[in-house]
Amino acid sequence: MAFSKDQLLDRLKELQIEFSQYEHPVVLTVEAQAKYVGNLGGALSKNLFLKDKKHRYYVVSALADTKVDLKVLSQRLGLGKGGLRMAAEEALVEILKVPLGCVTPFAVVNESARHVSLLLDQGFKTQEYCFFHPLSNDMSISLNAHGLDKFLKSIGRDPSYVDLEANPPVGKDQPPDLAAFVPSDAPILSDLPVKAPTQDSTGKHVSAASNSAAVAAKAVKPSGNAQNVKEKPVNTVQPSIPAADAGNFVEELLDRASALLLSEISEDSIKQHSGQLGAEVANNIKKCLREDLKNLATIFKNTAYTEGFYAGTRYQPKRL
Amino acid sequence: MEKVEDQNPQQEEDQVVNPWEVSAKDGGKIDYDKLIDKFGCQRLDQSFVDRVQRLTSRPPHVFLRRGVFFAHRDFNDILDAYERGQKFYLYTGRGPSSEALHLGHLIPFMFTKYLQDAFKVPLVIQLTDDEKCMWKNLSVEESQRLARENAKDIIACGFDISKTFIFSDFDYVGGAFYKNMVKVAKCVTYNKVVGIFGFTGEDHIGKVSFPPVQAVPSFPSSFPHLFSGKDDLRCLIPCAIDQDPYFRMTRDVAPRIGYHKPALIESLFFPALQGETGKMSASDPNSAIYVTDSAKDIKYKVNKHAFTGGQETIEKHRQYGANLEVDIPIKYLNFFLEDDAELEHIKKAYGAGRMLTGEVKKRLIEVLTEIVERHRRARAAVSDEMVDAFMAVRPLPNMFD
């Protein structure tokens, strides 16, 4: 169900976005593209499809002259040094639904690219018009950054431009400035309300995945006028109000005790302690397990207390 | 008369240690002796450790045995009173500036849990979301959200809900707490607070008026739902030594408003993986072990990024042994390996060159993985409702049991 070049062009016309189109033989690089549309006055773009270690994807679209340093970008996104690399060709096809050499900001129109983060070079704004591939390498279209914005807004995307050449320090007191561009990878369940991106005046791309039932909701809101929000998604799925289950608790205790017991009784230990083995093992078990079991018991206690507390806050006093 | 050190962080001399910056002289190591001297606190020596063991009838925590918690103020008064049957309460806290917690962040909480269990006393935990909102320029909502997320990791350290009250400043400041804040604020001049914390004319007034917020949890009357009628109750504050300035200020003010001075027990800084001179940085995931790291991550980080004191070649190592002074795996084992005898053995063998760096790292990986695993399991059991319960303003009738 990939968006086609023609569908894209039709949509642009529908939205009354001004653009010019130029057909040419298939090109795979900016240099090749330049041969055909390089002398037409507009600026060429270079487009990178990147991924990070947590399998989140990014389209970085920049003027061909802009220097993009992946190491710097990785740090500014809060991914550490070397957290970004070029995505595999398969990902290109599967997620962006475009062939090799055809990465373009327009690819985010595809459903499969919903989670892909889009970073646009602020340099685009200084150009009268810029060239992009309209989902196919045998054509280039030129349009103004405003036109691109209009298109992106029409598909619910928040166009935000970034100074890609900037290299601000990132440290304990300077949080990564592009952290808001890292997609939140909270699981989206099919029957629940999905991304409702909000637009605010600072142009931040915000995605909110909401989920009422079992999974604890992680709603991410835009931070006022500051960009210093690091969204580090939590990977564990939270259980719904876990009940303090005495049966499970006891099973866990017994499992640990018997595992330790088994490890303590071996040919060697039998030889070593013979008659005293019982006392020896009992002592060891107590020593090794004491803290562990206390911790388990505390978790159990806290859980039971929480259940009671929760019930107490919804308690209906007796009617007199 | 206790030294109330006014340190100006702009001094050209050596190290800088205050709540917002910690750096050693010339990129070297922190000199803790100098620090104790400058701050005017006391060394925690072996006699204290023995005394704690006697009073609590259980082995002292590994952090006490290894000198991780190494300095104090008036801890002996707390112990004296405890011996006479007078209890105390614990107060510690966290500035929720990021979601990613590493092992260094957990250290004060691990120790506080031990104190709660050993002495059977209640605990209040302050989440200074307002501070981070101001200093890190986070939005109010984001800092509150981080506070709740951090609360889950804190709860996972094993605190007893029937004896623990967690609160965030944005939620709790007001009422009796605020009354105490004003009392404290009236006793500290602008010049004094500039002297202690190094504020300048460019700093906004939020920062300047923040210190009382961190001071007043030291006074039982700030928590009328917990300690009403117990104005005499003493307070013990386990924290890292960079928090000392807040409490020097508090201790100076306390007698003037009729309260006991809070006692402190202070820890060393946890070194970054790359070495004492490196900085643990929220943006460099390889500088620390995070509580969300997988076993694979831990193995990778220790093997590839831990700074070691081993020699470059095996032959040299067998001959000269390792430099234990700078070796990070040994330092980390010092914090986290429970068994004193095993640690001694490793230090001896490694220092003599009989044990190789790889073996030490392997042991460290085991120890750290176990800790992180245990934490993760405990964390998974913490629900939002449990956080609500810990943070609810409710009485704790069994807090001294």
B26 CB-near residues (< 8 Å, 6+ apart): B14
pLDDT of residue B306: 92
pLDDT of residue A174: 72
Q: Are B150 and B144 in contact (CB under 8 A)?
A: no
Across residues B101-110, what is the average pLDDT?
Answer: 94
* Residue of chain B nearest A173, judged by CA positions: B136
Query: What is chain B's length?
Result: 401
Which tokens is B384 given?
A: 């939002």
Which tokens is A65 given?
A: 């002259």
Contact B381 A299 (CB under 8 A): yes
* Nearest-angstrom CA–CA distance, B214 and B375: 27
Q: DSSP state, A56? A: -
Q: Indicate whether B107 pLDDT > 90.
A: yes
* Nearest-angstrom CA–CA distance, A124 and B48: 67
Which positions in chain B touch A239 (Cβ < 8 Å)? 380-381, 383
Q: How many CA atoms lie within 13 A of B22 on its CB side?
A: 24
* Nearest-angstrom CA–CA distance, A15 and B241: 62
* Nearest-angstrom CA–CA distance, B326 and B311: 12
Contact B142 A171 (CB under 8 A): no
Q: Are A45 and A19 in contact (CB under 8 A)?
A: no
* Nearest-angstrom CA–CA distance, B383 and A306: 9
Q: What is the pLDDT of residues B253-279, one digit of tens each?
A: 999 999 999 999 999 989 999 887 766
**Residue A44 phi, psi (nearest 5):** -80, 155
Across residues B308-315, what is the average pLDDT?
Answer: 89
* Nearest-angstrom CA–CA distance, B206 and B75: 32
Long-range pairs, B380-384, Cβ under 8 A, ≥24: B380/A236, B380/A238, B380/A239, B381/A239, B381/A242, B381/A299, B381/A303, B381/B156, B382/B152, B382/B155, B382/B156, B383/A216, B383/A238, B383/A239, B383/A240, B383/A241, B383/A242, B383/A306, B384/A216, B384/A238, B384/B148
Interfacial residues of B (vs A; Cβ cutoff 8 Å): 20, 98-100, 117, 136-139, 141-142, 149, 155, 158-162, 279-286, 292, 374, 376, 378-381, 383-386, 388-389, 392, 394
How many Cβ atoms sit within 10 Å of the Cβ of residue B220?
Answer: 25
Contact A242 B384 (CB under 8 A): no
Which tokens is B180 given?
A: 């105490």
Chains A and B: how many Cβ contacts under 8 Å? 102
Which positions in chain A touch B281 (Cβ < 8 Å)? 171-172
* Nearest-angstrom CA–CA distance, B326 and B55: 35
More confident residue, B37 or A320: B37
Q: Shortest CB distance from A309 goes to which of B280, B378, B392?
A: B392
A305 CB-near residues (< 8 Å, 6+ apart): B161, B162, B389
Q: Indicate whether B110 pLDDT > 70.
A: yes
Chain B nearest-CA distance from A63, in A, is 28
Across residues B340-369, what is the average pLDDT?
Answer: 95
pLDDT of residue A242: 64
Contact B386 A75 (CB under 8 A): no
Q: Shortest CB distance from A236 goes to which of B142, B283, B380?
A: B380
pLDDT average per 10 residues of sequence, chain A (320 residues): 82 87 87 85 88 87 88 86 84 85 88 86 86 90 88 83 83 75 54 36 34 33 36 41 82 90 84 84 87 91 94 85
More confident residue, B76 or A290: B76
* Nearest-angstrom CA–CA distance, B319 and B285: 35
- In the structure, what pLDDT confidence band is assigned to residue B238 with cuts at 50, 70 and 90? very high
Contact B155 A302 (CB under 8 A): yes
Q: Are B303 and B366 in contact (CB under 8 A)?
A: no
Q: How many CA atoms lie within 13 A of A179 on its CB side?
A: 25
Q: Indicate whether B177 pLDDT > 50.
A: yes
- The CA-CA-CA angle for residues B153, B215, B213, to 5°, reads 75
Taking the CA atoms of chain A, what radius of gyration do you get in angstroms? 28
**DSSP assignment of A115-174:** T-EEEEEGGGGGSS-EEE--SSTTEEEEE-HHHHHHHHHHTT----EE-TT-----SSSS
Q: Are B149 and B373 in contact (CB under 8 A)?
A: no
Q: How many CA atoms lie within 13 A of B342 on its CB side?
A: 11
10 Å CB burial of residue B297 (0-12, 13-18, 19+) is middle
Chain A nearest-CA distance from B371, in A, is 11
* Residue of chain A nearest B114, judged by CA positions: A291
pLDDT of residue B253: 96
How many Cβ atoms sit within 10 Å of the Cβ of residue B80?
Answer: 12
